Structure 1
Amino acid sequence: MRISDVVRRKGDKVVTVRSDETVQRLLDLLAEHRIGALVVSDDGESVDGIVSERDVVRQLQQRGADVLTAPISSIMTAEVETCTPDVPIEQLARTMTELRIRHVPVVVDGKLRAIVSIGDIVKHRIDELQSERDQLVGYIQQ
């Protein structure tokens, strides 16, 4: 199974935010879409960075409430781990675990196409195991 299988099931919608937007705007988008991270993209296609709830919390602790008016570029991770749709699910799961990251943008020819979370990968694997179980039970009961 490949990342393209996960994207096919969950969809390819990606919410992005510009690097010059404020952290307050970031929080509004996270709450509105009920997600934990946003891809930072100034043109809507490139991956310029990624920013998560954790980034905001850490900056709040360090800088206080003034961080809410700061640009997202001041708190985002600029070096982003990305993948392509053809990457095996197990490989990306291992990479995410080793790097301790929860969200990975999916890119094709340098352009943002989707985003997968560790939760998406776990859900896909659980669904896969349930399907295998159902097939085995069906085979045994025949």
Structure 2
Amino acid sequence: MLIQSILRGKGSHIISVRTDDCVASITRTLSQHRIGAVLVVEADGTVLGIVSERDIVRAMAGVGEPVMRMTAGQLMTRVLHTVTPISTVQDALQMMTDRRVRHLPVLADDGALAGMVSIGDLVKARIAEAEQEAEELKLYVATAG
């Protein structure tokens, strides 16, 4: 299965923040949309980084309460691991495992942001694929006799 199949199902709408948004605002956005990470995007659509729940927790452990006044630009992870719409789900899962990330921006061939997938999206897709394979095998066995 390809990443583009997941995006067709979930859509390509991206929840993002600006570099000057404070952590308090970011946490409200994460909570409101029930997501674990947001991309940090410039007004022209350029992706600068990502802020995840994990980034916020680590900053809280290191800085304490003042972290709530930090901005996305100060807190974001700048090194992005990305996939393309034609990447396989298996390759994306391997990248997440190897790089210890839970969210991957999806970039089109021209570098434009095409969406974002989470570990939950990928696991859901793998389960659906396994269930479909099991049904096909049952049908084959039932009709082969």
Structure 2 unaligned blocks of 5 or more: none
2:5 corresponds in structure 1 to 5
- 2:121 is equivalent to residue 113 of structure 1: no
C-alpha displacement at 1:89, in angstroms? 1.6
RMSD (Å) for aligned C-alpha atoms: 1.2
1:59 corresponds in structure 2 to 59
> Number of matched residues?
142
Alpha-carbon distance in structure 1 between the residues aligned to 2:133 and 2:16: 36
Which is further off, 4-13 or 70-79? Answer: 4-13
Q: TM-score, normalised by structure 1?
A: 0.95
C-alpha displacement at 1:45, in angstroms? 2.5
Alpha-carbon distance in structure 2 between the residues aligned to 1:111 and 1:48: 13
Q: TM-score, normalised by structure 2?
A: 0.93
C-alpha displacement at 1:139, in angstroms? 2.1
C-alpha displacement at 1:44, in angstroms? 6.0
Alpha-carbon distance in structure 1 between the residues aligned to 2:44 and 2:55: 21
C-alpha displacement at 1:128, in angstroms? 0.5
Matches within 5 A, 1:86-125: 86-108=86-108, 109-125=110-126
Paired amino acid for 1:32: Q
Please tell me whether the aligned partners of residues 47 and 111 of structure 1 are also in contact (alpha carbons under 8 angstroms). Answer: no
1:28 corresponds in structure 2 to 28
The residue matched to 1:48 in structure 2 has which SS?
strand
The residue matched to 2:64 in structure 1 has which SS?
helix
Same amino acid, percent of matched pairs:
39
Matches within 5 A, 1:35-74: 35-43=35-43, 45-74=45-74
Paired amino acid for 2:120: G
Alpha-carbon distance in structure 1 between the residues aligned to 2:67 and 2:116: 26
Structure 1 unaligned blocks of 5 or more: none
1:18 corresponds in structure 2 to 18
C-alpha displacement at 1:53, in angstroms? 0.5
Paired amino acid for 1:20: D
Alpha-carbon distance in structure 2 between the residues aligned to 1:56 and 1:65: 11
1:134 corresponds in structure 2 to 135
